[in-house]
Amino acid sequence: MPNSLKAKIRTIPNWPKPGIMFRDITTLIQDNEGFKHLLDLLYERYKSFSIGKVAGIEARGFIIGSALADRLGVGFVPVRKKGKLPAGTIQEEYEKEYGSDIIEIHKDAIKPDERILLIDDLVATGGTALAACKLIKKAGGNIVECGFVVDLPELGGRKKIEDAGFKTFHLVGFEGE
């Protein structure tokens, strides 16, 4: 049950700045039963989606996404911050709370019309995930769904992604907590 996952997610008040309640999934993924349960739930959701590859957003999306890709028997595409990938890349710039940032994938990471599942640990304001969706589309991929462990609905990210035409899924919500 997702509630058992929620119980394993640590909340760190006032990090990285005052007023923020940081939802830390490292306590979930370091727990062997919790991590297995998380992957079981995601595998059950996505096993029949005919996914070509899983794309994971740096850094926690790498952990969950690569393990899920292995279970699904598909490849994994890392979505990285600018300058971290060694071969030719394509990039997407997006706005953050204080300025802008850029994410990249390798030019040859996605085949035309390949069905891509985007995975990350958490959706807050949705800026990075939406930029990753745009980047995957730019590479020729089709987003099957954006899957998250945690949704912070008060911050509106999931709605922003859905309003842009992408499907989302999450296992745990922290609304007003």
pLDDT in tens, 12-69: 999 988 988 999 999 999 999 999 999 999 999 999 999 999 999 999 999 999 999 9
Residues 16 and 117: their CA atoms lie apart, in Å, by: 29
The pLDDT score that the predictor gives to residue 177 is 61
CA distances to 79, 131, 135, 139, 169 from 107, rounded to whole Å, are 12, 16, 10, 7, 27
For domain 48-173, give the fold. Answer: Rossmann fold (3.40.50)
Task: Supply the pTM of this predicted model.
Answer: 0.96
- Computed over every residue of the chain, the mean pLDDT equals 95
- The owner of tokens 């990090």 is 15
Q: Where along the chain do its domains lie? A: 48-173
Q: Report residue 123: phi and psi, to 5°.
A: -115, 125
The pLDDT score that the predictor gives to residue 170 is 98
Instruction: Give 75: exposed, middle or buried? Use CB within 10 Å, 0-12, 13-18, 19+.
Output: middle
The sign of the CA dihedral 136, 70, 50, 145 is negative
DSSP 155: G
Report whether 90 contacts 118 (CB < 8 A): no
- Catalytic amino acids? 60, 97
The pLDDT score that the predictor gives to residue 96 is 78
The pLDDT score that the predictor gives to residue 146 is 98
